[in-house]
Amino acid sequence: MVSVSSPELVGHCSSWIASYLSGAGGRSGCRQYGESVRVGIVCPYSLSVPGGVQSQVLAQARALRALGHEARVLAPCDGPPPEPGITALGRSIPVASNGSRAPLAPDPACGRRTLAALAQEAFDVVHLHEPLCPGPTLVALVLARGPFVGTFHRAGASGFYRGLRPALRRLSRRLGARCAVSEDARRTATAAIGGHYELVFNGIEVAPFAKATPWPADGPTVMFLGRHESRKGLGVLLAAMAELPADVRLWVAGRGPETAELMGATAGDDRISWLGQVGDAERAARLRAADVLCAPSLRGESFGVVLLEAMAASTAIVASDLPGYRNVARGGREALLVPPGDAGALAGALARVLGDAGLASRLVAAGEARAQELSSERLAERYLAVYERVQALPSA
């Protein structure tokens, strides 16, 4: 595994940027569109690996198509594309980033495929998620033709941003519009490269969760969804379980570097079910069946998509009181929020929701309304307005 701020990766990306700064880049005179837009959505992360950005990209493409527009996703894939409408750009490698591992494809072959696909498709608008991330989005911004819209997801400092700050500041001017999915993401991008960012929250496809058939459950059930790494706080939730009644069950979905250690520490506790990686249908079915979705993250959350999924599935939420989660759930309204890392407070909040049907019902009702406010359909309509604005800008 390499680091996103490794000298090799920074040097590799520097050569791309240098080619733009010397005049290789350019913006097309894209045609004006009427009712239908052809959008190329570029994702830097492998679509074969579950992740918040990946799920947003795929949902955005589906929502745009449902509204009568053409949308194609360009992204790395470590196997067959997960659904139609995707151009696979090659395989990924795990890159250390933001306390986690990002499945990126910063190799030249992926870059060539990206440029070839963009040239062939001649999209009206190219939408880059994490536009300055090493790999296809950065290659597109440096060497392809726009107009470009960039959506920034990352919250937290970046060694890559620090290493290439002057060049990235200049390169980012190629973006006709800059969007950020949260205040944290906006602050991160502003501090790194400056500029103005429009706040455009992530969205949720409500129907797959709202209409899922609940998974069979045996008693009061808490669910955890996420990568098993320190910043996600699964260890805190496992400690909280020791304070909950014996009939409470915990479903743990996902995998990560701490899986083996955490499973070993809880060996013999038959209340805990280790599910591994679950598919979309099982994810929705288990969320529909769970009494509570617990998101005990400690840091590094730009936006709580998993909270939106629970809201769409009519599931109550207990989560850490983090700025990224507060973008989605307001404490005492759509969720109970507790101090990060406090196992006692987490256990208390879980016990309250599991033991108070009235409280749980109020949280669920507010969550369902919030999910409708932040639906993928509304997000697509918001982005369409951004696309129209960017398309109208004069060619550069």
Q: Is the dihedral of CA 40, 312, 347, 221 positive or negative?
A: negative
The DSSP bridge partners found for residue 256 are none
Characterize 145-166 residue by residue with b for buried, 16 or more Cβ atoms within 10 angstroms of its Cβ, and e for exposed. bbbbbbbbbbbbebbbbebbee
2-16+31-203+376-391 and 206-373 share one CATH topology?
yes
CA 240 to CA 347: how far, in whole Å? 5
Report whether the peptide linkage leading into residue 147 is cis, meaning its omega lies within 30 degrees of zero. yes
User: Would you call 256 exposed, middle or buried from its count of C-beta atoms within 10 A (0-12, 13-18, 19+)?
Assistant: middle
Which residues are CB-neighbours of 22 under 8 A, at least 6 positions away?
none
Which of the following CATH numbers is that of domain 206-373: 3.40.50.720, 2.40.50.840, 3.10.50.30, 3.40.50.2000? 3.40.50.2000
The conformation of residue 134, written as its DSSP 8-state character, comes to: T
> DSSP assignment of 189-222, as one string?
HHHHH----EE----B-HHHHHTPPPPP--SSEE
C-beta separation of 105 from 135 below 8 A: yes
C-beta atoms surrounding 230 within 10 Å: 17
- Run of H or E residues at 299: none
Comparing C-alpha atoms, which of 176, 97, 95, 106 is closest to residue 139? 106
Please say whether the structural domain 2-16+31-203+376-391 has been given the CATH code 3.40.50.2000.
yes
CA dihedral 68→73→77→79, nearest 10 degrees, is 30
C-beta separation of 374 from 204 below 8 A: yes
* One pLDDT digit (tens) per residue for the chain, 396 residues: 555 555 555 555 555 555 544 554 444 434 444 579 999 999 999 999 988 899 999 999 999 999 999 999 999 999 999 999 999 999 999 987 656 788 999 999 999 999 999 999 999 999 999 999 999 999 999 999 999 999 999 887 666 666 678 888 999 999 999 999 988 899 999 999 999 999 999 999 999 999 999 999 999 999 999 999 999 999 999 999 999 999 999 999 999 999 999 999 999 899 999 999 999 999 999 999 999 999 999 998 877 889 999 999 999 999 999 988 998 999 999 999 999 999 999 999 999 999 999 999 999 999 999 999 999 999 999 999 999 999 998 865
Domain boundaries, the chain: 2-16+31-203+376-391, 206-373
Q: What would the two tokens of residue 67 be?
A: 């509204």
